[in-house]
Each structure stands twice: as C-alpha cells, then as structure tokens.
Amino acid sequence: MSAEALHAKDHGHDHGHDHGHHHKETFITKYIFSQDHKMIAKQYLITGTIMGVIGVMMSIFFRMQIAWPKESFTIFEIFLGNWAPDGVLSADKYLALVTIHGTIMVFFVLTAGLSGTFSNLLIPLQIGARDMASGFLNMVSYWLFFISSVIMVLSLFVEGGAASAGWTIYPPLSALPEAIPGSGLGMTLWLVSMAIFIASSLLGSLNYIVTVINLRTKGMSMTRLPLTIWAFFVTAIIGVVSFPVLLSAALLLIFDRSFGTSFYLSDIFIQGEVLHYQGGSPVLFEHLFWFLGHPEVYIVLLPALGITSEIIATNSRKPIFGYRAMVASILAIAFLSTIVWGHHMFISGMNPFLGSVFTFTTLLIAIPSAVKAFNYITTLWKGNLQLNPAMLFSIGLVSTFITGGLTGIILGDSTLDINVHDTYFVVAHFHLVMGISALYGMFAGIYHWFPRMFGRMMNKNLGYIHFWVTAVCAYGVFFPMHFIGMAGLPRRYYTNSEFPLFDDLADVNVVITMFAIIGGIFQLVFLYNFFSSMFYGKKAPQNPWKSNTLEWTAPVEHMHGNWPGEIPHVHRWAYDYSKPGHDDDFVPQNVPMKEGEEELHH
C-alpha cells in the first residue's frame, strides 16, 4: 500500500521536507480532481450544502401545502412549474416532494454531507496521517457521490416526475408506474442514483476504516483516539455492513421493474388488468430496506455525536466525562443498531413473535443512548463553558437528542406503535432525534472546524442568531407535531381536509408551517456567514479554540501531507483540559508527559 510506504518513510528520514509538491499542481488537480483529503472534505461540504438547500426548500413547499391546502402560491409557479398547475401543488407531486426531501436529507446531506465532510477532514488530521490510505479511491468516492447527486436532481425534471413512493420506496408502489406516475423514469433514476451513492459510500467507508487502523501516528493508541475518530470509524463499519444490503434490495427492485421478476410482487390487479407477478413479497423488501434503513439512522447520528463530544469537551475546558463509557456506548449502539430494524415493521404483517424480539432489542438501545446523554450533561458540570456557536449547537444537539430519543420509547414498543405508526408522531420523533440532532452536529462541526478548513473565522454574532432562531423554530415545528400524531393524523397526506375529524388540527399545522418558514429563511444567515467568511472572514490563528487534538498543530495552507515537517507524535489522550499541574487549561496531544505526571483518566 503506497500510503503506508509513504507513512513509513515519514518516520524514517523525511525531515522538514514538503514532499507533497513533487509536481506542479494545476487548477484541475487542486480544486477538481483533488486527491487531498482536505480538499475532498470541502467538496463534500459544498455539495452537501447545495443538496441541503434543495431539500429544505422542498420541505417548506410541502409544509405550505399542508397549512394552506390547495391554495395557489406564486412561489410554487416559479419553482415547481408544472408540478403545481396555476400555483396549486398537485397531489402526486406533493408525494414526490416528500420523497425527494427525505432522500436528499438522509443520504445526500446527513450521510455524505456530514460524515463525508468530517471523516475526510478529521481522520487523517486527528490521527496524525499524511492523508487517507488511498487518496485515489477517496477522490473516486467523492466523484461518485457528485454523479449520484446530479442524477437525483435530474430525476426531478423527467416526465412523470421524480420518485413519489416515499423515501422508503416500498414496492409495489415504487415498482409499478401504473400505481403512481413517479414510479416510471423518476424511480429508475432514483435507483440508479442510489446505487452509485452506495458505491461512493462504500469506497469512502473502507478508506476510513483502513486509515484509522493503519495510519495512526506513533503513540496514538486506540484508547487515545479522540471520540470524533471513534465515531467516524464505527460509522464506517456500520456503513460497510449495511449499505450493501440496500444495494441488493435496490437491484432486486430494478429486476422486478425492468426484467419481469417477482421478488417483491405477487397477485396484483391494477387499472383493470392482472399482472403476471407471482410469489414475491413486499415484506422481503421492507426487511432488506430497514436492514440498512435503521443502521442508517446511526450512520447519520454517530458522527454528529462524535463531533459534539469533541466540541463540548473543548469548550467546557474539561475532559469528556466517561471516555471509556462513551466508546463503549458507540460500540453498543453500533451493534444494536443492526438488530433492531424490525421495529419499523411491527404491523407490516411479519410474524408477531418477531415483533416481540425487536421490541426487546429496540428498548435496549435506549441504554447506551441514555449513558451518552448523561455523560454530556456531566461534562458541562463545573466546566468553564465557552459558548461559541459550535458549543451552542452541541448543547442544542443534546437537547433535541433527549427530546426526540424519549419518544422512541413509545415507538419502539410494538404495543404502542400500533396506534402511532406512520402518524405525525413518528415524523416528529425521527426529525428531532436524527434530523435536527444530526444537522446541529453538522453546524457545530462547520463552525468549529471552519478555521481549520479555510483559515478564517466565521462571524460569531451571525452564528448566535443562526443558532437561537434555528433552535426555537426546530422545537416550534416538531414539538406540536407529536400532538397531531397522537390525534391520529397520518403522515404523507396531501391534505387533511377530507376528514372533518382532523379539522381542529388545521391551526396547529399553520403554526408548524410558520415556524418552518422562519427557520428555513434564517438558514440564509448561515449561508451568508459561511460563504462570506470564506473570503472576508477574520484570519484565524492556528488553534483558535485552544484545542488538544492534532489537527490544530498543522498549518492551514494548501499542502499535501498535512505537516511540513515530521508528523507529531502523541503522548496523551485528547482530553487533558484544565489538568492540574499545567499552566494552560489545555495540553495538546503532542506534548510529552511531564516527569511524574499521571494519566488521570484510567
């Protein structure tokens, strides 16, 4: 392995040489087909942000339809064109918006945008490596992600519209163009895009795993890894275990759709005709889908938790409380996440005994989650909290993680799930616990590592406004949503006006939509801050947050290999903040232990 050879060389005789500049870099190799992990991280971030803008705009559009059903909006005419004839959103395109919103946010923003950005940026920098194990595969991974994003966006423009079967694309709805127009070319493109996305994700994940295992600098034992790296590492493992299953699910669906097989389809009579399918089962698809789908929740969430662990410790000027328990929780969550998928299927018609098993494993996963939440709170206790925007988003994450996680106790219990399954209660639950929490993790990461990426600071006051308005709006949207779910309102309804039973929920829906619109608009504050700070932000010192991890020991300049001289060696864990016996309230990992200094954390 070439990177390993390179690495070995670093320890040998490469002193003070910037070996990344053997050949002249062109614009193309520097900014486009770059193999440098820092540039690839930025590419992921920018692509993810653009997808995020699309995804959030879609959510605002369909929220407007729910609050003011069948009203005509000029803004629909402008952005949605023939999806909204005369400015009135049509029923099947409402479902297309919901579907693509889910797909984009889950996969393109919170998987690739979050994990892709920060795994790429931080793994080599925090473990003390020159780059990823394979820079080339890393580049391929990004470009596959880019292609899949383009295909997903293009699928919005094809005849029949984009995929409209929900982001879970359950067949037969997703398999039969007769059932909904979006299941024609739109769904084909969805599947192609996701297949490419999975390839991208696998290449990325394998790279992360190999890098963490092989390229740690001298002294960086697994128990000295920052929690960010633990989170990224374990996330990559879950991805490698579960994404291939989604790929096979998608392939079989492609076969059913295009080559007449019957993996998921049986006994179908639609539009006056019997179809030939015989013997398949949609429940099989649900199993395969959720075998990825549930771990996917943690693929989204764990990196966010890793990022906040790091940021909360740094800004509390305190060691993270219970480092080993945090690592154990990450591992426990990762393991359990692969055996709980059935809680999405309690009432799918699968054997009820399986329901019991999945209830059991699901409620077990609450335990490591609770440990994490308590450890975060204890880390704040008696700290010296530096309330930077990144810290606020991290605290916000703990708050939404608790609020959203607690309702999981209801949904994970098969008995209670019967009546709230597929209602807005579920929508509220998973948006808080994985959507908002992971987004907060992503924002926290961006505010915290922006100086590391661009050498400039983001404006803190804009950051504060961004946080407080977002925090209020997120609760404003999703807290009341639990209650309309408990009133029995099903999700994915184009309008609720067909049921007088739900008439008294119309005002709540208006409130929710208002909060969503305000929250959405205020993301412009973030975008402005992000892009303007990139060029006009205040120049950042090398270690603005007085942090311990290795990425702050490397200069911020475009350089392949990260450190101009030797790679720093590691002598301690990442959390020696406010350690007695030191003058500063932080001791970077590359500072040798003083004579007689104890490792206090074991």
Partner 1 sequence: MTTGLLTFIVLILIAIAIWQLTKIFDLSQAKADNTQVANDKDNNINGYLMMGFLMFIYVITIISFWKWGDLPLIGNSASEHGTSVDTLMVISMVLIFFVQTVTQALLHYFAFKYRGKKGRKALYYADNDKLEFIWTIIPVITLAGLILYGLFTWNEIMDVNMDDDPIVVELYAQQFNWKARYAGEDNVLGKANVRLIDLGDNPNILGLDREDKYAQDDVITQELRLPVGRKVVFKMRSQDVLHSAYMPHFRMQMNCVPGQTTEFAMTPTKTTAEMRETPKIVNKVSRINSIRAAKSKELAAKGEEALEPYEFDFLLLCNKICGESHYNMQMKVIVESQEDFDKWIAAQETFGKKK
Q: Which of residues 298-317 bind partner 1 (CB under 8 A)?
A: 316-317
Give the residue, chosen from 422, 559, 591, 597, that forms a contact with partner 1 under the rule CB under 8 A: 422
Give the residue, chosen from 577, 588, 589, 590, that forms a contact with partner 1 under the rule CB under 8 A: 577
Binding string, 477-496, against partner 1, x = CB under 8 A? Answer: --xx-xxx-xxx-x-xxxxx
Q: By CB under 8 A, is residue 4 in contact with partner 1?
A: no
**Which residue reads 């994915």 in tokens?**
492
- Burial environment of residue 439 by CB neighbours within 10 A (0 to 12, 13 to 18, 19 or more): buried
Q: By CB under 8 A, is residue 102 in contact with partner 1?
A: no
Question: CA 157 to CA 159: how far, in whole Å?
Answer: 7
Residue type, 318: K
Q: By CB under 8 A, is residue 575 in contact with partner 1?
A: yes
Helix (H) or strand (E) holding 244: helix 227-259
- Cβ atoms of 97 and 61 within 8 Å: the answer is yes
Q: How many CB atoms are closer than 10 A to CB 320?
A: 25
Question: CA 79 to CA 244: how far, in whole Å?
Answer: 35
Q: Considering beta carbons, is residue 158 or 283 the nearer one to partner 1? A: 283
- Cβ atoms of 253 and 174 within 8 Å: the answer is yes
Q: Which of 211, 192, 100, 104 is nearest to 144 (CA)?
A: 192
Q: Distances in Å between the alpha carbon of 22 and those of 18, 19, 25?
A: 9, 6, 9
- Cβ atoms of 470 and 522 within 8 Å: the answer is yes
457: DSSP letter: P
- Residue ranges in 173-202 that form contacts with partner 1 under rule CB under 8 A: 173, 176, 179-180
Q: By CB under 8 A, is residue 544 in contact with partner 1?
A: yes
Q: By CB under 8 A, is residue 579 in contact with partner 1?
A: yes
Q: Considering beta carbons, is residue 154 or 328 the nearer one to partner 1? A: 328
Residue type, 115: S
Binding string, 202-241, against partner 1, x = CB under 8 A? Answer: ----------------------------------------
Q: Considering beta carbons, is residue 246 or 265 the nearer one to partner 1? A: 265
- Cβ atoms of 181 and 164 within 8 Å: the answer is yes
Q: By CB under 8 A, is residue 601 in contact with partner 1?
A: yes
Question: CA 228 to CA 158: how far, in whole Å?
Answer: 40
- Residue ranges in 274-293 that form contacts with partner 1 under rule CB under 8 A: 274, 279-283
Q: Considering beta carbons, is residue 165 or 196 the nearer one to partner 1? A: 165
Residues in the chain: 602
Q: By CB under 8 A, is residue 371 in contact with partner 1?
A: yes
Q: What is the nearest approach in angstroms of partner 1 to the Cβ of residue 99?
A: 9
Q: How many CB atoms are closer than 10 A to CB 584?
A: 12
Q: Which of 223, 235, 397 is nearest to 327 (CA)?
A: 223
Binding string, 323-342, against partner 1, x = CB under 8 A? Answer: xxx-----------------
Give the residue, chosen from 356, 555, 594, 598, that forms a contact with partner 1 under the rule CB under 8 A: 356
Q: Considering beta carbons, is residue 168 or 248 the nearer one to partner 1? A: 168
Q: What is the nearest approach in angstroms of partner 1 to the Cβ of residue 57?
A: 13
Q: By CB under 8 A, is residue 559 in contact with partner 1?
A: no
- Residue ranges in 43-72 that form contacts with partner 1 under rule CB under 8 A: 64, 68, 71-72
107: DSSP letter: I
Q: What is the nearest approach in angstroms of partner 1 to the Cβ of residue 121?
A: 20
Q: Considering beta carbons, is residue 6 or 185 the nearer one to partner 1? A: 185
- Residue ranges in 77-96 that form contacts with partner 1 under rule CB under 8 A: 87, 91-92, 95
